Chain A
Amino acid sequence: MALRVIAISAVSTVLSFVGLQFCTDLSLDKLTSDGLIGWNLIHLDNASQDIELPLGLYTTIGLLVNCMINVFILLNLCLKAVFFTELYASETRKLVERFINYVIYKGMFLPLIVPPTIYQAGLWSTWLTVLCSLKMFQALARDRLERLNASPSATPWTYLRVYSALLFVFMVDVLWIRFCLTIYQAHGSSMYLLLFFEPFSICFETLQAILVHGFQLLDIWLHHSACNSSDFRTPKLLDMLTAGSLLELKGILIRNLGFLLDMATFFMALGHYLYIWRLHGMAFHLIDALLFLNIRALLSAIINRIKGFIRLRIALGTLHAALPDATTEELRAYDDECAICREPMAKAKRLNCNHLFHLACLRSWLDQGLAEMYTCPTCRKPLFAGVPGNETNSDAGTISSDEQLARQISAGLDRPNSARHTMPTGFYPNQTLNTPEGVPWRGAGLDSGWLHSWPNQGVDGAGPSTAIRTVGLGRVQMMMRHLASVGETYAQTTLEDTAWNLWPINPSQASASGSTIPPPGGRLPERTGSLHLRTASQSSNDNVANILAMAETVREVLPHIPDDMIFQDLQRTNSVTVTVNNLLQM
């Protein structure tokens, strides 16, 4: 099917090119013939030329634009076939959703500031089209890489091919930034500064994806290499230490550098809207309300990301100070992997029971809070347990320190819930209209209370997509869990995608779109299968219940007959009377 679409696009491109060529030749021939006739009738020919020239020019421009559009579509289809071969139904649907959201929220505000000339319209349309393509390819690559990561049959080559799409998007984005710089230098107007914010946002986001999935690619490659090669005892220890160090480096890089790239992405996106606001000025129309809502959503996402990062750093720091590090001799004597993530350990924390775990793994387990008391994952011995009273004062200090640590961790975990409870609900458009004009940072400060109300409002407006259902869960718990895992920085990206989906024009359209979204292709067969299973189980269960009831009746009549004989006969006859007669005749 993809090849067919590419073929159609290629034919369309060729036709548009031929049309353009034909029109150009026709104009040239007409010009020549007019020139020949002009020698006889100078005035009349001049008048006819003046009339025909604009018409021919517009036709040529239209055909040229059509040809370029066809070439662009063909190029996109070829690149999609090269990197992704065939899109899944869910990927296609998500792609369409993202495309619509992107075009609406990036393209809606451009008419506010762009002069209505053909050149400006062409320039900004091209800008929006190229950035939209880059954004869609990047999102597709990320989704596919996550799917491959969750697939047991993924090979390094498959992963590398999709990973190349990220590298390609990054390179094209850098070239596009340089092209925008050329345009800016050529015109020198302050309006053209707007060209840079969105390309930089895509650039940083792609860099983050390259970082995270680069480590995944390395893991997959090492995994395949380990499967192919044989194992030796002595090099195994060195490999474990090396792999453990690599794991530590990976965690640190993804946490810190991922956070910085996330912040850069958010601030570029925010700068885009703030700059539009500055160029356009504050006039109280519907379009300005939408612009302000977008700005507020981005500010809320930024603040949540910063809070999550700070909370994670505090939690890790607290645990790091509370538990002793395992020495190299202890690690060598332990000679085992972390029992939680099954990965080698270069650094580890030692519990009172002498079990070793990664700091990050241990922190994730303590954050879980399944049990009332914190316990060792391996032996369930309580952590921070009180030592018997006949110890020395230093031990008493240790006890109080442990208790304070446990209390501090509990308080830290409880604080987000209380903060969420105090979040104000509702949204006040009037106060938005009263926001002072001209100083956006002051307005943002005054609106900080409303920023917290956004998650609740988002939940109220939630649609049927899976990303929105994620928001419906305990958000703080989800945030902490996401931040702890390897792909923690993607939680914010998911949140950002959710933010886009949570911005319908009005609630009725949101509900309408919710009702019109078709169910996934795989759901219907599953439902049919489950229905069939339920029917079969009901009939089987009724049959067994009948046999049991009849067995009870037979046992009342003939209590001395063994139960297995009763069951055997009932299975054959399926009748109480016949079974009783048969057993009596025996």
Chain B
Amino acid sequence: MIDLARVQKELVECSKDAEGSGIKVSPKNDNLVLLIGTIPGPVGTPYEGGIFQIDITLPDGYPFEPPKMQFKTKVWHPNISSQSGAICLDILKDQWSPALTLKTALLSVQALLSAPQPDDPQDAVVAQQYLKDYQTFVNTARYWTESFAKASSRGIEDKVQKLVEMGFPEARVRSILEAVGGDENMALERLL
């Protein structure tokens, strides 16, 4: 059974430091089993400027089992599947420890964006390109970031403006949009 008290504390801890690190975790719907994490792309990488969303599912054995994480935003990376968003990261598999938290796990994913490991790939096509034609890899990764991660962010800003013009308070609009994963219609239903 999930240790729900610990999960609540982790959410509070993440929200305290959200401004500094840019890492956020919020519940999807009104339960603590399905969460959405948000990480900014690291500076100095092709992913810079992008906002990447990660689906988080807490198994029944959490915190003694690792959380299941999967990129919701499409990303071009050797260790992240460009099709499904599956992440190849040791602390999310056999190297998990109950002392780690959702925040440390997201920090590790962010570090993975900075330092790809093509020798242990999740996506063979991307890894091959990374090894043989690094410049094309960088351009493709930047292109994907521009197309999916930044467009998602820009879309969210537009949606926030639109909903604020309807008369809803901005803070509430942002929190609800984040909770529903950027779906404007669902956010509108929640606001009404």
Residues of B within 8 A of A486 (CB): 1, 3
**Smallest CB gap from A366: residue in B:** B64
In the docked arrangement, what's the CA distance between A370 and B64, Å? 9
Q: When chains A and B are docked, how far (Å) is the Cα of A455 from the Cα of B63? A: 28
Min CB distance B53 to A, Å, is 12
List of A residues within 8 angstroms of B33 by Cβ: 150
Cβ of A152: which chain B residues have Cβ within 8 Å of it?
A: 8, 11, 27, 30-32
Is B61's CB within 8 Å of the partner chain A? yes
Interface residue ranges of B1-22 to A (CB < 8 Å): 1-6, 8-11
Find chain B residues with CB under 8 A from A551 CB: 136
Q: When the two chains form their complex, are residues B99 and A481 in contact, meaning their CB atoms are under 8 A apart?
A: no
Q: Would B139 and A339 count as touching, CB distance under 8 A?
A: no
- Tell which of A340-348, A415-423, A502-510 binds the partner: A340-348
* Complex-state Cα separation, A544 to B142, whole angstroms: 13
Check if B143 is an interface residue, CB within 8 A of chain A. yes
Which residues of B, 46-86, contact A by the 8 Å Cβ criterion?
60-61, 63-65, 74, 82-83
User: DSSP majority for the B interface?
Assistant: loop
Knowing A150-B33, A340-B63 are in contact, say whether A567-B99 is a contact too (CB < 8 A).
Answer: no
Contact (Cβ within 8 A) A150 B4: yes
Q: Is A339 a contact partner of B3 (Cβ separation < 8 A)?
A: no
- Known A-B contacts A342-B9, A548-B140; the reply to A151 vs B31 at CB < 8 A is yes
Expressed in whole angstroms, the minimum distance between the Cβ of A486 and any Cβ of chain B is 7
Q: Indicate whether A380 reaches chain B with its CB closer than 8 angstroms.
A: yes
Instruction: Please tell me the size bucket of the interface on B.
Output: 35 or more
Which of B6, B83, B94, B136 meets A342, CB within 8 Å?
Answer: B6
Chain A, residues 140-162, CB within 8 Å of chain B (1/0): the string is 00000001011111000000000
Q: Decide if A365 touches B98 in the complex (CB within 8 Å).
A: yes
Which residues of A have CB within 8 Å of B9? 342
Asked whether any CB of chain B lies closer than 8 Å to the CB of A537, the reply is yes
A153-B136 Cα distance, complex, nearest whole Å: 47
A364: Cβ under 8 A from any B Cβ: yes
Q: Are A567 and B139 in contact (CB under 8 A)?
A: yes
B135 with A541: CB separation less than 8 A: no
With A153-B30, A370-B65 as known contacts, state yes or no: A487 contacts B99, CB within 8 Å.
no
Q: How far is the CB of B84 from chain A (nearest CB, A)?
A: 9
Q: With an 8 A cutoff between CB atoms, is A183 at the interface? A: no
B98 contacts A339, C-beta separation under 8 Å: yes
Is A92 an interface position by the 8 A CB rule? no
Candidates A151, A153, A339, A540; contact of B99 at CB < 8 Å: A339
Inside 8 A of A367's CB, which chain B residues have their CB?
64
**A378, CB-defined interface residue at 8 Å:** yes
Residue of A nearest to B100 (CB): A377
Inter-chain CA distance A150–B3, complex, in Å, is: 9
Contact residues in A for B5 (Cβ distance below 8 Å): 219, 341-343
* Given A150-B4, A377-B98, A378-B97; A368-B32 close (CB under 8 Å): no
- Report B-chain residues with C-beta under 8 Å of the C-beta of A66: none
CB distance from A402 to the nearest CB of B (A): 21
Q: Within the assembled complex, what's the spacing in Å between the Cα atoms of A100 and B4?
A: 32
- Please encode chain A, from 480 to 507, with 1 for each CB lying within 8 Å of some chain B CB and 0 for all others: 0110011110100000000000000000
CB closest residue in chain A, given B183: A529
| A371 part of interface (Cβ distance < 8 Å) | yes
* Shortest Cβ gap from A8 to chain B (Å): 29
Shortest distance between the CB of B25 and any CB in chain A (Å): 11
Q: A151-B30, A341-B3, A563-B136 are in contact. Are A537 and B98 (CB under 8 A)?
A: no
Alpha-carbon gap, A541 to B139, bound state (A): 16
**Inside 8 A of B135's CB, which chain A residues have their CB?**
563
A361 at the interface (CB under 8 A from B): yes
Is the CB of B130 closer than 8 A to any CB of chain A?
Answer: no
Q: How far is the CA of A127 from the CA of B138 in the complex (A)?
A: 75
**Chain A 366-405 per-residue mask, 1 if CB under 8 angstroms from chain B, else 0:** 0110110001011010000000000000000000000000
A231 interfacial by beta-carbon distance below 8 Å:
no
* A414 CB–B CB distance under 8 Å: no
CB contacts (< 8 Å) of B143 on chain A: these are 544, 567
The A185-243 residues at the B interface (CB cut-off 8 A) are: 219, 223
A564: CB under 8 A from chain B? Answer: yes
Within 8 A of B (CB), among A531-581: 537, 540-541, 544, 548, 551, 563-564, 567
Query: Which of A340, A341, A370, A485 has the most C-beta atoms of chain B within 10 angstroms of its own C-beta?
Result: A370
B96 beta carbon closer than 8 Å to chain A: yes
A149 touches B4 (CB 8 A): yes
B8 surroundings in chain A (CB, below 8 A):
152, 223
A340 contacts across to B, CB distance below 8 A: 6, 63, 98-99
Residues of B within 8 Å of A150, CB to CB, are: 2, 4, 31-33
Report whether A564 and B99 are in contact in the complex, using a CB–CB cutoff of 8 Å: no
> Is A341 within 8 A of B82, CB to CB?
no
CB proximity of B91 to chain A, nearest CB, Å: 11
Which of B32, B60, B99 meets A378, CB within 8 Å?
B99
Query: For chain B residues 128-151, which have a beta carbon within 8 Å of chain A?
Result: 135-136, 139-140, 143-144, 147
Give residues in B with beta carbon < 8 Å to A.
1-6, 8-11, 27, 30-33, 60-61, 63-65, 74, 82-83, 94-99, 135-136, 139-140, 143-144, 147
Q: Can you give 15 A-B contacts (C-beta < 8 A)? A: A150-B4, A150-B31, A151-B30, A152-B30, A152-B31, A223-B8, A339-B99, A340-B99, A361-B98, A368-B64, A368-B65, A370-B94, A378-B97, A485-B1, A544-B140
Q: A-B pairs with the 9 shortest C-beta distances?
A: A339-B99, A485-B1, A377-B99, A368-B64, A340-B98, A378-B99, A377-B97, A377-B98, A342-B6
Given contacts A341-B3, A370-B65, 20 further A-B contacts (CB under 8 A): A150-B33, A151-B31, A152-B11, A152-B31, A340-B63, A341-B63, A365-B64, A365-B98, A368-B65, A370-B96, A375-B97, A380-B97, A487-B1, A541-B82, A541-B83, A544-B143, A544-B144, A563-B136, A563-B139, A564-B139
